[in-house]
Amino acid sequence: MRIAFVAYDWPGYRGGPIVNARRLLPELQRRGHQVHALIQYHRGGSPTADLLRAQGVQVHAVVFHRWTEDRIDWLLERLRAIGPDVFVPNLSVAGWYAARWAREAGIPTIAAYRSDDAFHAGMVEEFVLGDPRWAVSGLISVSQAAHDRILATDPARTRLCVIPSGVPVPSAAADQADGPLRLVYVGRLVQEQKRILETIDALAAVLHRLPDATAMLIGHCAAAPDEATIDARIKGHGLGDRLALLGTLEPDALHDVLRRFHVLVLLSDYEGTPGSVMDGMACGLVPVCLDIPGGVRELVRHEQTGLLVADRGDAFVDAVSRLAHDGVLRRRLATNARRHIRQGYSLEVAADRWEAFLAQLVEENPVPRTTIARPADDALPPVNPGLAREDHRRPLPPPPRPLWRRVLGGLRRRLRPVRLLQRGRPPADPSAAFLAPRCEAGNLDRYLIRRSILDALHAQRDRLRGTLLDVGCGQMPYKSILTAPAGQVTRYLGLDFADNPIHDNQPDLCWQDGRIPLEDAGVDCALCTEVLEHCPEPELVLREIARVLRSGGVLFLTVPFLWPLHEVPYDHYRYTPFALRRHLEQAGFGDIELHATGGWDASLAQMLGLWVRRRPMSTSKRQILSWLLLPIYRWLARRDALMPVRFQEGVMLTGVWGTAVKHETSRSR
């Protein structure tokens, strides 16, 4: 069978999807299938491409295209050349769109559901339960729980199947003999999902209770916090070499290292079926995991194949201490864990299920094979909010103005009957400027800041759950995103001044003598976008937010840095990241993660945009200069998106966005 399989890659990337591709594709190739890997890579190349080629897989690699449309075109071009029996877009948004034209040409298509987050929920909404034209032929879930949830929605056009990311089972297992306990964490070193800083604290608490135990973290920093922050957190516990960071390992070397440990730790907020836990169990380690819904509970059967804990605090420390003092229990759980992986989660079992599912879809496919064709005028559906972090559409140029309008415009400029000619125009949608900002000549002053805030909010949306308080809500432009079905916010409360002259809507709550009219710990999370610069005493506002947040609640905030005076006379401050961090810490927040909304190139683009759109000048001059600067503006925006911004000497910022967590000891002061 000829199989086309899509993957993303870049140097140092060790996420579950690429590790699975490195293992599965050569295994299918060894079984006699003709496997084609369609790899899109960025930031320096694709190590996976070389590895797969060495094992007989045919690789088609290309530098990651910026726009979704370009990625779709490349995939369809490759598919026409390959002529596969089955197309597996896997986790690729562009691949899911391209799957439509592959399926119409008689090629079954398969997407993968690998994690319980907004991104995968958006995929199901769009490509399983949405418009039939875009439905994939098959959907593989890595956990039974995810499969059952999707099955309950009664998908009529997509066949479902459960196939975990199979792992090799080494011939030798870890030595669980009595002695000092050795713990290990394997995975991405990030706060989002993995809660790496809390995991470090939990490991440190265990080491303080068990003086002869040691712990190691293995992984890479794919997002905030950076390695320096993690290293500082580790050193701050004063445990020396007992708590250490190893860094990234090649997948082929992972099992040899894992067999040196006894216990594998995973304390994530959410997971699909985590490959690190499967690898650890395959090596004979005992998994100790936070009890979360999904694949973790299928792998770790409490007291049978590992231990599930209720929190990252005392429950976790007690569970590990129990393993340290009960060698019989530890050896029994390790043996059961290894057997559980061999029987249901090994690479051989996964490849068997893949072969069976592929054959089933090919056999059931009702569409005769034809040439893949994508009509030039067949537009994509609107961007699904859950997929916005990876679905980047090419900006559309405005349509050319008809001749009669150009003539009329010239007459209007000469005769100046502007107000009469503009009557009857429909009002613009106020939410479009926030939720669908366009990079066009008339929007050069606002596009970059709106786009950066929107991207940051999408990246953190899964951390905003339950009841959300929007502080300084204005028109509440982001409410539709956060309360969408793919999100986790169940109640949205807008807070503002009752007599705010800037906005015309009535908020849900109004400030009362400098206090938020809510009880202590009354909300689960908070939003504060472009507000603190208007607060004469920002720490009072932050302390009040901390008061109404529950313990562990997340605050998402943004502030401008490079921006003209606005909402005068209520414009008080511009914040550096260092000042913002200090205010947050003094207000009782911790786990503070701050990022730039843009760097040098974005700053220049933003200043050009502000100058051409807001500096006093004639209308005709503004229009001409806006069109002339538009390509430069877009070029600068593209350059800035490819360059990381670190807060160091000489850096230029457009603004700052970040998150902070209310400490358990936070109180209003």
CB 660 within 8 A of CB 557: yes
The pLDDT value given to residue 353: 95
| C-beta neighbour count of 523 within 10 angstroms | 20
CA distance 85 to 81: 12
Q: Are residues 160 and 56 in the same domain?
A: yes
Strand order in the sheet with 182-186: 243-247, 214-218, 182-186, 263-266, 286-290, 307-309
Nearest 10 degrees: Cα torsion 624, 625, 631, 633: -150
The domain in which residue 306 lies consists of 182-345
98 is written with which tokens?
């391209």
What value does the mean pLDDT take over residues 439-461? 90
Strands 465-471 and 488-496: parallel
Quick one: which of 298, 355, 361, 350 has its CA closest to 116?
Answer: 298
Going from the C-alpha of 340 to that of each of 145, 333, 345, 512, the distances in angstroms are: 17, 10, 7, 58
CB 330 within 8 A of CB 323: yes
Going by the DSSP 8-state scheme, the letter that residue 132 receives in this structure is G
Three-class SS of residue 624? helix
In-domain check, residue 619: yes
What value does the mean pLDDT take over residues 486-500? 82
Structural domains in the chain (count): 3
Q: Are residues 103 and 236 in the same domain?
A: no
Q: Are residues 142 and 242 in the same domain?
A: no
Q: Are residues 549 and 562 in the same domain?
A: yes
Domain containing residue 527: CATH number: 3.40.50.150
Quick one: which of 421, 443, 425, 424 has its CA closest to 434?
Answer: 443
Q: Are residues 277 and 308 in the same domain?
A: yes
CA distance 335 to 414: 87
The pLDDT value given to residue 644: 60
pLDDT band, very low/low/confident/very high, at 246 (cuts 50, 70, 90): confident
Going from the C-alpha of 254 to that of each of 19, 181, 184, 193, 230, the distances in angstroms are: 11, 19, 12, 22, 21
Q: Are residues 157 and 187 in the same domain?
A: no
CB 59 within 8 A of CB 37: yes
CA distance 455 to 437: 11
In-domain check, residue 420: no
In-domain check, residue 589: yes
Q: Are residues 44 and 142 in the same domain?
A: yes
ω into 180 cis (within 30 of 0):
no
Q: Is the pLDDT of residue 666 over 50?
A: no
Tens of pLDDT along 570-610?
A: 899 999 999 999 999 999 999 999 999 999 999 999 999 99
Q: Are residues 139 and 220 in the same domain?
A: no
pLDDT band, very low/low/confident/very high, at 179 (cuts 50, 70, 90): confident
Tens of pLDDT along 400-443?
A: 767 666 666 665 555 443 333 333 344 445 556 677 888 999 89
| C-beta neighbour count of 545 within 10 angstroms | 28
Tens of pLDDT along 296-331?
A: 999 999 999 999 999 999 999 999 999 999 999 999
What is the rounded end-to-end Cα distance, in angstroms, of the chain?
67
In-domain check, residue 480: yes
Q: Are residues 356 and 465 in the same domain?
A: no
Q: Are residues 334 and 201 in the same domain?
A: yes
Q: Are residues 129 and 188 in the same domain?
A: no
- Among 295, 312, 345, the domain-final residue is 345
Tens of pLDDT along 72-108?
A: 999 999 999 999 999 999 999 999 999 999 999 999 9
Helix (H) or strand (E) holding 73: helix 68-82
- Among 337, 364, 391, the domain-final residue is 364
* Cα Rg, the chain, nearest whole Å: 27
Q: Are residues 158 and 187 in the same domain?
A: no
In-domain check, residue 388: no
In-domain check, residue 404: no
CA distance 450 to 529: 11
- Among 311, 332, 364, the domain-final residue is 364
In-domain check, residue 409: no
Q: Is the pLDDT of residue 350 over 60?
A: yes
What value does the mean pLDDT take over residues 493-517? 77
In-domain check, residue 419: no
Domain containing residue 132: CATH number: 3.40.50.2000
- Amino acid making up residue 175: D
Write the CB contacts of 252 (distance below 8 Å, at least 6 apart in sequence).
Answer: none
- Amino acid making up residue 225: P
